[in-house]
Structure 1
Amino acid sequence: MQYSPLGSSGINVSRVCLGSMTWGKQNTQSDADEQIAYALEQGVNFIDTAEMYAVPPSPETYGKTEEIIGNWLSRNQQKRSDVVLATKIAGNGLSWVRDGGNITRQTVIEAVDDSLKRLKTDYIDLYQLHWPNRSTPHFGRQWPGTLKFTDVNTQEQQASMLDILEGLNECVKAGKIKHCGLSDDTPWGISQFLSLAKEHNLPRMVSIQNEFSLAHAKDWPYLIEQCVHEDIAY
């Protein structure tokens, strides 16, 4: 297994990360136990999940994946320090998650506590924003004309990002999360979070998790270039 730095975090993670979004829908607890054991045997030390999982997202599957991982952790507490555990706060648009509202300082604090309970652990290694409050060219919205960026209020979004960073900072200071990351964001989003963190002495984003495939190659080369020069793991 090969390992890479997780941006500026000081943590090395396996190049293969164990995704978990089917646990609780397509996969059972016993399936997950078997897959985790196999991954660890191969040198995988990186597990990614989200409060929104399992998928397809629904009120019935919400939080199920974190619960499955938590059940495994409760039976394997001696292995907790061997695993870099990443999870995410859901963004807006899901009516069964905080009434579909935006990510805010307060919802970050509440969501972290809820994830910790489901995961049966007292800290999260990497806590990510699953998608921004504003619309971005992800989830099939990458085609020209789909988004009107001129409709976005720059000052409102910057204030929202600062509010979120302040919530993350509370959780970092409390020892509930170690590092923060983005997901489904853009070069503008990265730059705003980095500049706000530097200006206000708040947690620095260390990574971004975006979709990438032959059908979704929009991050190459501009976002990738920024990640390299800003020391953001992609």
Structure 2
Amino acid sequence: MKMRRLGRTDLSVSAICLGTMTYGQQNTEQEGHAQMDRAFDRGVNFLDTAELYPIPPKAETQGRTETYIGNWMAARKNRSRVVVASKVVGRTSDEWFRGDRPNRLVRADIFDAVEKSLARLQTDYIDLYQIHFPERKIPWGSNPARRTTWPTPRDDDETPIAETLAVFDELVKAGKIRHLGLSNESSWGVMRYLFESEKGNGPRVATLQNAYNLVNRTFEVNLAEVCEREDVGLLAYSPLAQGYLTGKYDNGARPAGSRTALFNRGSRYETPNAAETQLAYNELACGFGMEPALFANAFVTSRPFMASNIVGATTLEQLEMALDSADVTWTDEMQEAVDAIHQSTGNPCT
């Protein structure tokens, strides 16, 4: 497994990161532990989680994923060998995170989130602590293919980024977190955090976790230049487009037990022209003699700007295929074929 540096930090992580959002909902604790064992046996040293997990978010399961990871690290006594990334939620009206109030990116709420995550993870520090989504009002994912609302709405009590960043400065100095990351953030947001840190208001952003896959390459439009020039590493989530790039949903299929069948949360990947585009990529993969899931993950893992590809699985077989993507030789022929479809279809699933 190839190792890559996270931004300008001293952290070296595997090209594949194990995503854990299914632990506690679709996966039992035993299954989650088995996945982590298998991934680490294959050279993975990087886990991504969040206080929000598992998905779909519910008050009765919130935080369960971190608990499973904490139990695994305690049992294996391997905390020093694991790079742990977690997240604090942005603005939300859900009160179960803080217990008595909605969450904002203010000191009291961020400190509450960190302390609870540290307890569940059974650790004294979090290697990479990320803001799961911005507090300000922007489209989900922060990087849509087009905007329909102008001007951008704002909350009167929007927390300034400088104020949020100052809280992370306290956390770093207290040793509770090592580095700061963003998620579902825009070009403006990344640059604003960098600007404030250069003014001395807090730690420098190390990573950006945004969606990136064959049917959503909007990162390449503006964010790629920002991240490349500013040494901010991309952590790609949803490389399989929530399973739509595995072929299992082709031609309207909805297999029993699949995420879409269970939770009906696939709207991001059920937009106009999405099904046709997904089918085209899945058929292209088969034309190269590869399973669509292996092909889609290999595309993401192979990108020159990729710090780590966050893969997810509900079975060990799915996990093995995702891990195998790190060993695929991505050819010019594959890239040209992918780009030909992208040229005609664009990014239907932002």
Instruction: Specify if TM > 0.5.
Output: yes
Residue 327 of structure 2 is matched in structure 1 by none
Give yes or no for contact 2:180–2:207 (8 Å, CA) kept in 1: yes
Q: Flag as ranges the 4+ runs of structure 1 deviating above 4 A.
A: none
Residue 90 of structure 1 is matched in structure 2 by 89
Query: Match of 1:210, SS?
Result: strand
User: What letter is aligned with 1:230?
Assistant: E
Q: Distance in 2 between matches of 1:102 and 1:169?
A: 17
Q: Distance in 2 between matches of 1:41 and 1:107?
A: 37
Alignment pair present for 1:22 and 2:27 = no
Give yes or no for contact 2:165–2:201 (8 Å, CA) kept in 1: no
**Aligned 1:130-145 pairs, distance under 5 A:** 130-139=132-141, 142=144, 144-145=146-147
Query: Match of 1:200, SS?
Result: coil
Change in 2 beyond 3 A, CA 1:138/1:218: farther
Higher Cα Rg: structure 1 or 2? 2
Query: Match of 2:223, SS?
Result: helix
RMSD, aligned CA: 2.0
Query: Match of 1:100, SS?
Result: coil
Gaps of 5+ in 2: 235-350
Change in 2 beyond 3 A, CA 1:143/1:149: farther
Give yes or no for contact 2:143–2:218 (8 Å, CA) kept in 1: no
How far 1:149 moved relative to its partner? 4.6
* Match among 107, 111, 114 for residue 113 of structure 2: 111
**Aligned 1:7-156 pairs, distance under 5 A:** 7-77=7-77, 79-95=78-94, 96-98=96-98, 99-139=101-141, 142=144, 144-152=146-154
Residue 220 of structure 1 is matched in structure 2 by 220
Cα deviations by residue, 1:162-211 (Å, 9 ceiling, x for unpaired): 11111111111111100000000011001110111111241111000001
Q: TM-score, normalised by structure 1?
A: 0.92
Q: TM-score, normalised by structure 2?
A: 0.63
Q: Distance in 2 between matches of 1:140 and 1:6?
A: 22
User: What letter is aligned with 2:206?
Assistant: V
Q: Report the number of matched residues.
A: 231
Cα deviations by residue, 1:92-150 (Å, 9 ceiling, x for unpaired): 22412233332112211111111000000111000000000013333598353444354
